Amino acid sequence: MAEGTVQSIEIDAEPAACFAVASDVAAYPEWATGVRSTEVLETDADGKPLRAAFVIDGMVKEISYTLTYTYDEPSSISWTADPGPDLKAMEGSYTFKELGEGRTEIVYALRAEPAFTIPGFLRRQVEKQIVGTALRGLRERVAAVSEA
């Protein structure tokens, strides 16, 4: 698999609040830039998605894929993509580290290998933009949910 992108951000919220927003896959189109639609295909006993289908604006083209999730509540969420016409492989994770005083560091790691030709430098730039935008969107969504 290709090398990946890792970025982090600090949020004024507890890890459990961050985990709750990140695991609410059905709500991603409301706040995650570029996510056009999601469909939860299977859930665990607690209602967390185990498999979900996505359609995203991949900047170069619209990309469809299905993710399988694993959880270590409230400290991490990991996923892998089924190989398909748009992605050969993808894996990622959110890790939520308590910093104290109601703050959390979120680390987002993503490695993707598209099934279509894209120069390596462009793939890395797109990956970095996806990760950075997702972290900022997650921070904004956690703040909005906490205020509600």
CATH number at residue 87: 3.30.530.20
The full DSSP string for 72-93 is ETTTEEEEEEPP-SSEEEEEEE
**Range name among 80-84, 98-102, 118-122, 138-142 with the lowest pLDDT average:** 118-122
**pLDDT tens by residue, 5-47:** 999 999 999 999 999 999 999 999 999 988 999 999 999 999 9
Query: Global pTM?
Result: 0.89
Parent domain of 40: 5-147
**pLDDT tens by residue, 88-134:** 999 999 999 999 999 999 999 999 888 877 777 777 777 788 888 89
Cis bond upstream, residue 74 (ω within 30): yes
For helices 120-147 and 15-22, give the axis angle rounded to 10 degrees: 120
Number of domains composing the chain: 1
Stated as kind and residue range, the H or E segment containing 107 is strand 103-114
